[in-house]
Every structure is written in structure tokens, then in C-alpha cells.
A and B are shown apart, each in its own frame.
Chain A
């Protein structure tokens, strides 16, 4: 590689087909209100964690739906489950359960090393 002084950049494109969206499926199954999000961002705006660090449930939510799981894995742990997002959500999405389920799903995936 050195002999070129550069490497082939990885594309930023979300490749919908090759992405693994099983976590989204896992949640759809257990928390149907996951579908109801309209990405208004209310959750991110009121978020206790978001007040202290870069953390947007709205964004994580969309990333999960697209199968961009690696970005979610670390970030989702930052949630404090305080529940403000659930209270402000205009679509009645059970956000806390979603967070819990995402964590669960990652634990499972670590176990079965998916």
C-alpha cells in the first residue's frame, strides 16, 4: 500500500441489500410501534443524554432500519432510559422498550456472533 501513498476509500453509500437489517426485524416483531416513527426528532430534542453528549435516538432509529448496526452498537448504551422521549413522542412509539430491545439484540448477536 505504501508505494501508492493512499488507499481505496470506503464508500459512504448505504447498500440496502447487503446490509443486515435483522435488528430492525427483531424489534418490529416485539415492538410494533417501532414502525410508527416519523423522524420528527422530538425524542432527540428532549433527551437527557443528548443534553450531555452526541446522542440522537431519531438517528439511531433510522440507522437500525437501514441495517447500519455498527454505529448503533456503541451509541445505544449511552441512553439513560429516563423516558422523556416516550412522553413527548407524537406517534406513541414505545421508545424505552426499543432501546432495551436493541441492547438485547446486540447481546444476542454477540452470543451467536452474527
Chain B
């Protein structure tokens, strides 16, 4: 019977963490909403499972995404995660093959060298020992980087590294101790017995040359065991919880579970899956343009895990979504932030803004949602009938050129349309949502929805990405919602408008709400390519910048907004384009004051290029119709 007291710390730790993980996952499963439970079950017996395994291998072990974005950082994570995995795997195999009997207790594998000091002299054993040493060296190289990252984060090519709380520090030290102590323990043992391969062997024999190897080995085996034990025990209360949690996350995601807009198992799993790698910090413009360095998603996740008051962190964010796209673990950071903004607001289902699961007109038939109405002053809306509705949006009313260009384009297109908020409409509700005030937002949403149904239109065109996102995401509409860039693309394809080619050099800035927010990247560029020469910038699609004007940030000062705008504008206009094109009134307004380059909305450029044929039939009738559209106020 091979046993030694020093393995006790390790065993305690191991069994504790195993039990903890099991219990935790049961609780999580119980807390899942009914439909999510079904999804998970379906996923388990479906393709999701296989997918997940693949992903776990690629992401949790190899850390492919990090490798892509940052090679050194990726290597660091990979060497530790993948290396350790290999060490355990081959360790177990080793113990199984070369051990006294099969199917050993885990500690036998971990401390194999202690219990089999004579092992690995020659032949296959030696070859295997070589493999094990190789893996250990692989891990140590990564560890070496990690230690340096702490001391000087540039080593792994990062501008910022996350700050730690004390338990994290302890856990970190124990983690760092694990492999060096294993190295020394094994080396001494090998040194004492003349075994060991290129790493442990060499180091061992050298140490043995001037130290009493036999006596020295034992304390290091203790240290090895203790550091493993401590690490396991601390795991649940430290960021390292992400190691086990990420597996759940991957599986749940592949089973098609979404964050939604209320805190729950999934959002919790995601928060625990954050490894605080800090990639979101580098991606954040508040960090590198405005010098706000304490509100990035990594910190948010940490604050949530520690049950701190997150309101200040949660509100001070542009919600540009850059971090979502960059997160190697694929955590839905913005939705989680929104949950935090809502705070206690989002209890009642009627207030539920995310309509992902149940597509119905529930609770929309009445203008007001639960509770006492706030906007009871809104007038009864009775719009005229029309095929297409044009909803300019509040911001567009502050950029009349966009408004007029759209009117020009709509007229030219010859569609039968109505300009519903010509005389000032009611806000789309998204700004309220972004402030976490869903109940109020729901009132406005219901009000606008009613107006849209009454008009009997089949298409709704808006010039404001903010409106567009909320119309698509949170309105229960049976009309086709289009951003004006999409609408223009359609009428170009139909050939219902003709355009000149303007010999101008244009760079396109994808607005957050339209691009990352709603996944509309191609139509705007297609439209632009149709009328001008489109230049590429360093910041395309998912990587596009935020103009800084975002309504989502409640806290940022106008000065810092302007900083962000200037930096972004400078980046985008590096190739000295004639026009900095965008597709959002807010972006336009923000950029105009930040650069000397002409800033224009796509609709403006199109309106410029438009060839107006001899007066369209019934155009006058249309215009007069517009004039008479519902006059609110």
C-alpha cells in the first residue's frame, strides 16, 4: 500500500473541488428557466455536446482566440492550461502503465515519481520520462511569462493587466508554486536515485552534487502537495474558478442559451468564466482614449463576483460592444452590463425587453405597461395609411441634412411613404433601456408600436441606428424594419433610382448600434461602393471604433467624449479621405466637431449622387400628404 501523509493536502483539495463543482452545477441547472433546461437536455444528446468538446479543446486548452489576437499571451495561457492537461493525462497513463497496479487514486499519478523513485532508468520508461519532463518544461516556460506579465505586462504584449484581490494573490502564488515545487521535488528525488530525464535528471544530479538530495526531496513533495491543495480550495472564491466554469459556459452556449435581460444561471456562469485576461481592457476606448481605467468588463465581472456595488462601473460604458467581440471566452459582456444597469428594475416579465424567446404581442395592446403610467401625456396617435414609414428619430432632427437627404431619396424612390415623426415624434425607447429604465421604455415602445400597426405599413425605415436596434430587438412588429442604408441598397438593386459616380475618396465608420449592435455591415458599404471610391481603414466591421457620442454612457464628461471622438477621427482619416462617411446622426454630430475632414451620412452622399428624373408622378400629392401627417403636439 503506497501512501504518505504529504499527499493529504492535495487529496483534501482535490475532493473538495470535485464535490464543489458537482454541487454548483446542480444548483445552476436548477436555477435555469424552463426553456433553457429543455435546451440543455436537447444539447446534451445532440450535436451541441460534440461541438462543445471541440471548442473546449480549442479554446480552454489551446486558447486559439487569444493566440490569434496576441501570440505571447496565447502561448502563456496555452502552456499553462494545455500543458497541465497533458501532464495530468500522461501522468495518469504513466501511473496506470508503469504503476504497481491499474486504476490508481489520482495522487498516485500526481506524485508518481515519489512513489516510484527507481522508475525511468532506461528504455521506454526513460522515453516516457523524457516526455513528462518536456511537458513540465513547456508549462514552466509559460509560467515564466506569467510571472513577468505580473511584474511587467508589456512582456506578453499587453498595455494593461488586471488588478487582483488578496485571495486571488494567494491562489496565484500557490499556482505559481505548483510547478517549480514539482520540478524541484522530482529533481531531488531523481538526483538521489540517478533517475530523471533531461530536465529533472540534469538538475537533480547537479543539485545532488552539493546537496543532500534524499533529505531535500521530501519537503518539496510536501510543498508541491500543499500548493496544489491550497489552489484547489481557493479556486471557488478566486478568478481561477473560470477554469471549470468555462466548460459549462461552452456547453450552454452551444445548446443555444442566451443571456436575456435578467440575471440568471447563464449570466452567472459567464461572469465566473471570465479569466480576467484583460483583452477587453485593451479593446476599450475609454481606456486608451479617455483614460478611464476601472470600468472595463473584466472589472465589472470581478465586481459582480465579489457582490460589490457595480452601478458606477455599469453606467460608465459606451456600450460599443468592442469587448464583446474580442472576449476570447465569448462572454456576452454588454447584455450582462445591461442586467446590472437594470438592477432591481427588471423583475416583472411585462418589462422584459429582450424578446428573444417569445415572439408575441403580449402586453403591447395596451399603451401602458405595468404600474402607473409615466407618459400619460402622449397624444392619441392616428397615422395615415402608407406602405412605407419613415421614422427619422430624435437625433436625426438635429442633423437636418440627413433628414432632407432621406426625403429626397424617398421621393425619388417613388414609394408611397409617410414621414411619421416629421413634426417631432416620440423617442424610440432605447435611451431609456440603456439607462436601465425598461418599464418607461416599454411605455414608449408600446405607444410607437401601436402607431406603426395603425398605419398598416409593410416597411419601417429609420435613419437612426439606435432606433433601428430597438425596433428590431424589442418591438413586437409585423413590419420589415430597415435602416436607411438597407432601404437605399434595396432601391438601388431594384433599379428604381439612378445615381452618378462621385469621384471622391471615402472611408466608412460603422456605427456601433448598426454594426456590432445589429450586424449591419455590408449594405452601407455596398451603397457607398455604388457611388464613391471606398477606402479601407484599420478599423473595419467588428473592429470599428466608437465615435464617443454614445447615449449609453451616462457618466462620461463632454471633454472625454471629445477626446474619444478626436482619437477615433484621427485614426479613421489617416488616409486623408475626402469624406468620413457614417450611417448615424449621432456619429455624424460627434465627429463633425472632432475633425476637419468632411463628415457625412451615407444618405447625404447618396442624395448628392442621385439623378432626379423629371418630376415623379403624384410627387406633389405625396409631398402634400407628408405635410399633413399626424401632427403630435
Contact = CB atoms under 8 A, between A and B. Distances in A.
Contacts of B624: none
A19 B476 CA distance: 46
A96 B426 contact: no
A78 B426 CA distance: 12
Contacts of B258: none
Interface in B366-424: 374-375, 377-379, 394-395, 397-398, 424
Given A48-B394, A51-B633, A83 B551 contact: yes
Given A51-B633, A52-B378, A81 B427 contact: yes
Contacts of A84: 394-395, 397-398
B424 A48 contact: yes
A52 B427 contact: no
B395 A96 contact: no
B427 A48 contact: yes
Interface in B552-568: 554-559
A51 B374 contact: no
B435 interface: yes
A88 B558 CA distance: 12
B153 interface: no
Given A53-B377, A87-B398, A92-B557, A81 B432 contact: yes
Contacts of A52: 377-379, 424, 426, 632-633
Given A83-B395, A87-B395, A78 B375 contact: yes
A79 B295 CA distance: 27
A80 B589 CA distance: 20
B289 interface: no
A97 B427 CA distance: 17
B109 to A, nearest CB: 56
Given A52-B632, A53-B377, A81 B394 contact: no
B540 to A, nearest CB: 27
Contact of B426 (A48, A87, A94, A97): A48
A108 interface: no
Interface of B is mostly: loop
A94 to B, nearest CB: 7
Contacts of B551: 81, 83, 96
Nearest to A97: B554
Counting contact residues on chain B (CB < 8 A from A), the size range is: 20 to 34
A112 to B, nearest CB: 16
A100 B554 contact: yes
Contacts of A88: 398
Interface in A48-72: 48, 51-53
A20 interface: no
Interface in A36-57: 46, 48, 51-53
A80 to B, nearest CB: 4
Nearest to A88: B398
A96 B559 CA distance: 16
B424 A83 contact: no
Given A51-B633, A92-B558, A100-B554, A81 B435 contact: yes
Contacts of B379: 52
Given A51-B632, A52-B633, A80 B558 contact: no
A87 B398 CA distance: 9
**3 closest A-B pairs by CB:** A92-B558, A53-B377, A80-B427
11 contacts: A33-B558, A52-B633, A77-B374, A80-B375, A80-B426, A80-B427, A81-B432, A81-B435, A82-B394, A96-B551, A100-B435
Interface of A: 33, 46, 48, 51-53, 77-78, 80-84, 87-88, 92, 94, 96-97, 100
